[in-house]
Amino acid sequence: MSDTRTRLPNELGTSLQAGDDAATAELLDELVHTGEITEILEALTSDDRRRLAVVLEDNEPAELLEDLDPIEAAEILSALTIDQAARVLETVDTDNAVDIVSEIESDRAEQILVAMDFETARELRELLVYPPDTAGGRMTPAFVSVDPHLRADQAVVALRQVAQEAETIYYVYVTDNDDKLLGVLSLRNLVLSPPETPVSDLMVRQMIAVLDTADQEIAARTLNEHDLLALPVVDEAYRLLGIITADDVADILEEEATEDIERLGGSEPLEEPYLRASPFLLWRKRVVWLLVLFLAAAYTTTVLQYFEDELDAAVALAFFIPLLIGTGGNVGSQVVTTIVRAMAVEDIRLGDIVRVVSKEARVGVMLGLVMSAVMFGRAVMLRTGFDIALIVASSVLIIVFWATLVGSVLPLALRRVGVDPAVVSAPLISTLVDGTGLIIYFMIARVVLT
Amino acid sequence: MSDTRTRLPNELGTSLQAGDDAATAELLDELVHTGEITEILEALTSDDRRRLAVVLEDNEPAELLEDLDPIEAAEILSALTIDQAARVLETVDTDNAVDIVSEIESDRAEQILVAMDFETARELRELLVYPPDTAGGRMTPAFVSVDPHLRADQAVVALRQVAQEAETIYYVYVTDNDDKLLGVLSLRNLVLSPPETPVSDLMVRQMIAVLDTADQEIAARTLNEHDLLALPVVDEAYRLLGIITADDVADILEEEATEDIERLGGSEPLEEPYLRASPFLLWRKRVVWLLVLFLAAAYTTTVLQYFEDELDAAVALAFFIPLLIGTGGNVGSQVVTTIVRAMAVEDIRLGDIVRVVSKEARVGVMLGLVMSAVMFGRAVMLRTGFDIALIVASSVLIIVFWATLVGSVLPLALRRVGVDPAVVSAPLISTLVDGTGLIIYFMIARVVLT
């Protein structure tokens, strides 16, 4: 593996730079077959990619482009003329072609669409209206449908005629004259049933479908939950528009998990691969939340200023500030990531709020007791006196309990009022707990020290 | 949807409590067809589940049990006698049966295996030796294989005979007499080719497979990357042992993403659904890291004690501690979650370390400048004097830059020395940045104030 990874891209680079088109075509063929093509194309320089585009023209580019990230495929196409790009795109699967076209700058994309075969361009335009993260934006119109009046053997013949273009022929959809979805049958049933069986006897009527406007995550979860190979996408009138195939599910769920993770970490989702993101984009995705969190945390200075007398009287109180609020923040981060993820994968629903909070309350007490003991130990080690040790130990008990509650209640409460709980990041909980934790700390200090 | 969700479980509960087996069986049938069965069974009380087990016996339980979480399926089986449970398990798909058996307490599981059909029990025992998170632990032996000497039409006839038991018949594997994997052909090709074509002409030889001992995540990523419907699992001698089907991929990747998220949040992965986890389990998964982080953070008290003179001289310095280290922690959390996730989905590899760090360094400077400006503003608002404003503004600039570097370098450095970067949680980075941030702050204070 690691050998191929270094050898082949070098060879490909060499043959491209030497202009040896025959060798390049042969190498490409080998790469597609070993399945290493994506990684290797990603490792090429932009210059080499442009040279590659010219070679591609004469060598069935569809498979190659489909394996690439759409952004990279668009980049390769940019080295071609409008007409060349149109010819190449005509050979690419519609759902991949849509993703590639969306990455091409819009004036040029329009020129390419005009230069393309009319029917293919029409299909592309229909898909281009959907936002990319909807079921419509993910679907392919390359499904197979048959008439309900056919027999099994006639359906197989019908299949043979369209199989070349279809994304999958393992599910055959049954539609009426208005394209309304009536049912689905599997190639498995079709092949295993007596040839004269009517299609309408083989098909499953009570079937699962999603609306074209549904979020792609809903489509992916539905497909996955029911272990389907493909999911029909329909409009309000239940007309079959396209299908989403099982190979998209993992990609969709990975994308969504990445977004959730980035949000939980306290930034806006990047929405593109890390290495492609410019420093400015990274800055923009982070700075907004940093400023929000700064504003939320700014009152900690006010809190401390308010307790200036306590601080002046016992500067040792200041020593424990980072450790106390750090522990609170750590607990908050643990709780909120667990809860928000469990909500995302639907392990926790809104109706579970009481169960969740009562469970977390118990965990909070148990964690608080442990942290209280070690905090007391730390204070004794530092010889800050019994008073301070008592203050920090009881503070951390309450802060840990409080952080657990905030971390578990806030995501569920936000969902209840209709806000996406993914806005509750670990840094947000830490920040909220920081200020309230300080108040708890100094209130206890005031009581104990006076 | 929400209507069914409340109506059907109630009806099911009622019919179970009334002992109306016919009504229960009918309802179950309806639930399986609407695909709501999982959610509804999960909502049943344990008592109702036990009653259900008795009804199940006479009513094709396989489909039901396969749709359930293995833990819940095991719970339902526990209401049956050993013999009843054995009969039921014989009807369940092997890969699901393995998951269910692993959730049954080991003495009872052994008794059930002994009571089962010999051949099925042998298959189960073979799979039970694999850890559940390996390719072997995930595979099903219910694949279809044919001899390379058959013709296409003979292969279809062979298929018909085994189709009933097979997990998928869309990929047909070609093996020799020693079960060695020679190639694969798709049902699609089989159906669309002339009947007399030899199987060996139709099959793809250069194929993708995983070892039985490989991590399940590698299997899932391979399947997904190549858009396959199933992936063959082989032993060292390339003998075909089983297949992993596409419907497992999303589940595996979701599981892995959940583990990553829980680790990033600073706890050990729960490894079971949140609502099933006891408070004690939650406590145990969190307390270890909390204590580690406490130890790592404990030196912040030492740092502050060391700078006691500076604190005494200007207590206003203490006001900014939470805001300064909070901001550092937030930046660290943003960076580390983005980087660790990008490494998990292989957007970033070890070789990219220079690109990543130089990009993050630029982002760090840009973020630092913004935060420095607002921090200066906050200090001016609090009327703490120009000196303090200068100290906090320059400290936050350096701390933000430092947090960005630590958050990006640490995961990559750990990977380089062979440690799983998932141990680098957001709380860990925050904690590391807290102490060093304080040192930076007070060093600057010492220089400015003296």
- Interval A228-266: pLDDT, tens: 889 999 999 999 999 998 888 888 988 889 999 999 998
Helix B426-449 / helix B386-416 crossing angle, nearest 10 deg: 140
User: Hey, what long-range contacts does A111-118 have (CB within 8 A, 24 or more apart)?
Assistant: A111/A82, A112/A82, A112/A85, A112/A86, A113/A86, A115/A82, A115/A83, A115/A85, A115/A86, A116/A86, A116/A89, A116/A90, A117/A86, A117/A90
Beta-strand (E) ranges in B15-56?
Answer: none
Whether B322 and A338 lie within 8 Å, measured CB to CB: no
Nearest of B386, B363, B369 to residue B448 by alpha carbon: B386
- pLDDT over threshold 80, residue A310: yes
Work out the minimum CA distance from B77 to partner chain A, whole angstroms.
Answer: 22
- pLDDT over threshold 90, residue A440: yes
pLDDT score recorded for residue A90 = 86
Mean pLDDT calculated for residue range B35-51: 68
Backbone φ and ψ of B384, nearest 5°: -90, 0
- pLDDT over threshold 90, residue A389: yes
Q: Which of B274, B295, B425 best tests the A interface by mutation, with the highest count of A CBs <10 A?
A: B274
Write the secondary structure of B386-415 as one string of H (helix), E (strand) and C (coil).
HHHHHHHHHHHHHHHHHHHHHHHHHHHHHH
pLDDT score recorded for residue B312 = 82
- Residues of B whose CB is below 8 A from A265: 264, 333-334, 336-338, 426
Amino acid at B165: E
Sequence-separated (6 or more) residues with CB below 8 Å from residue A248:
A138, A220
Percent of chain A's residues with pLDDT above 70: 91
Q: Which of B144, B261, B339 best tests the A interface by mutation, with the highest count of A CBs <10 A?
A: B261
pLDDT score recorded for residue B1 = 38
The helix (run of H) or strand (run of E) holding residue B64 is helix B62-67
- pLDDT over threshold 60, residue B2: no
- What's the CATH superfamily of B2-129? MgtE N-terminal domain-like (1.25.60.10)
Sequence-separated (6 or more) residues with CB below 8 Å from residue A378:
A323, A392, B294, B298, B301
Which of the four pLDDT bands, split at 50, 70 and 90, describes residue A5? very low
pLDDT score recorded for residue B3 = 42
Which of the four pLDDT bands, split at 50, 70 and 90, describes residue A4? very low
Mean pLDDT calculated for residue range B319-330: 92
Which of the four pLDDT bands, split at 50, 70 and 90, describes residue A56? low
Which of the four pLDDT bands, split at 50, 70 and 90, describes residue A103? confident
Work out the minimum CA distance from A51 to partner chain B, whole angstroms.
Answer: 25
Sequence-separated (6 or more) residues with CB below 8 Å from residue A75:
A46, A49
Nearest of A301, A375, A65 to residue B327 by alpha carbon: A301
Residue with tokens 């009806």: B11
Per-range mean pLDDT, top range of A13-17, B54-58, B86-90, B241-245:
B241-245
Work out the minimum CA distance from A214 to partner chain B, whole angstroms.
Answer: 15
Per-range mean pLDDT, top range of A214-223, A417-426, B51-60:
A214-223
pLDDT score recorded for residue A313 = 82
- pLDDT over threshold 50, residue A1: no
CA-CA-CA-CA torsion sign (A383, A387, A389, A395): negative
State the Cα–Cα distance between residues A328 and A227, nearest whole angstrom. Answer: 42
B145-246: CATH class:
alpha beta
A145-247: CATH class:
alpha beta
- Residues of B whose CB is below 8 A from A305: 316, 319, 382
Work out the minimum CA distance from A301 to partner chain B, whole angstroms.
Answer: 5
Work out the minimum CA distance from A149 to partner chain B, whole angstroms.
Answer: 21
Which of the four pLDDT bands, split at 50, 70 and 90, describes residue B56? low
CA-CA-CA-CA torsion sign (A310, A311, A315, A321): positive
State the Cα–Cα distance between residues B423 and B433, nearest whole angstrom. Answer: 16
State the Cα–Cα distance between residues A426 and B443, nearest whole angstrom. Answer: 29
- DSSP bridge pairs for B171: B186
Helix B21-34 / helix B2-17 crossing angle, nearest 10 deg: 160
The residue of chain A with its CA nearest to that of B63 is A226
- Residues of A whose CB is below 8 A from B280: 366
- pLDDT over threshold 70, residue B326: yes
Which of the four pLDDT bands, split at 50, 70 and 90, describes residue A331? very high
State the Cα–Cα distance between residues A265 and B344, nearest whole angstrom. Answer: 15
Please tell me which of the candidates A250, A280, A291 has its beta carbon nearest to residue B253.
Answer: A250
Ranking A24-33, A129-138, B168-177 by mean pLDDT, the lowest is A24-33
- Residues of A whose CB is below 8 A from B208: 35
CB hemisphere CA count around A30 (13 angstroms): 14
Please tell me which of the candidates B224, B342, B366 has its beta carbon nearest to residue A251.
Answer: B224
Mean pLDDT calculated for residue range A266-290: 89
Query: ipTM beyond 0.85?
Result: no
Is the domain B274-449 a CATH 1.10.3720.10 member? no
Residue B367, Cα to own-chain centre: how many angstroms? 33
- pLDDT over threshold 90, residue A123: no
pLDDT score recorded for residue A20 = 76
Contact A195, A151 (CB under 8 A): yes
Q: If you count residue pairs, one on A and one on B, with CB atoms under 8 Å apart, how many are there?
A: 348
Ranking A76-90, A398-412, B238-252, B266-280 by mean pLDDT, the lowest is A76-90
Helix runs in B244-278, H state only:
246-264
Do domains B2-129 and B274-449 share one topology? The answer is no
**Burial code of A397-422, b = ≥16 C-beta within 10 A, e = fewer?**
bbbbbbbbbbbbbbbbbbbeeeeebb
CA-CA-CA-CA torsion sign (B426, B429, B435, B437): negative
Nearest of A375, A443, A431, A440 to residue A406 by alpha carbon: A431
State the Cα–Cα distance between residues B35 and A347, nearest whole angstrom. Answer: 17
Q: What single DSSP character describes residue A59?
A: S
Q: What average pLDDT is seen over chain A?
A: 85
In tens, the pLDDT along B359-368 reads 999 999 999 9
Two tokens at A300?
A: 């900690």
The residue of chain B with its CA nearest to that of A352 is B275
Distances (CA, A) of B250 to A172, A247, B224, B300: 23, 9, 9, 43
**Burial code of B316-328, b = ≥16 C-beta within 10 A, e = fewer?**
bbbbbbbbbbbbb
Which of the four pLDDT bands, split at 50, 70 and 90, describes residue A2? very low
Ranking B3-17, B71-85, B408-422, B423-437 by mean pLDDT, the lowest is B3-17
Mean pLDDT calculated for residue range A363-385: 92
Contact B16, B76 (CB under 8 A): no
Counting every residue written for chain A, the total comes to: 450
In tens, the pLDDT along B113-125 reads 888 988 888 888 8
Please tell me which of the candidates A257, A265, A279 has its beta carbon nearest to residue B363.
Answer: A279
User: Domain locations in chain A?
Assistant: 2-129, 145-247, 274-449
Contact B51, B16 (CB under 8 A): yes
3-state DSSP assignment of residue B106: helix
- Residues of A whose CB is below 8 A from B191: 156, 159-160, 169, 187, 191
Please tell me which of the candidates A333, A352, A382 has its beta carbon nearest to residue B266.
Answer: A333
Strand arrangement, sheet containing B210-211: B210-211, B230-234, B240-245
3-state DSSP assignment of residue B185: strand
pLDDT score recorded for residue A39 = 65
pLDDT score recorded for residue A57 = 62
Nearest of A42, A241, A38 to residue A138 by alpha carbon: A241
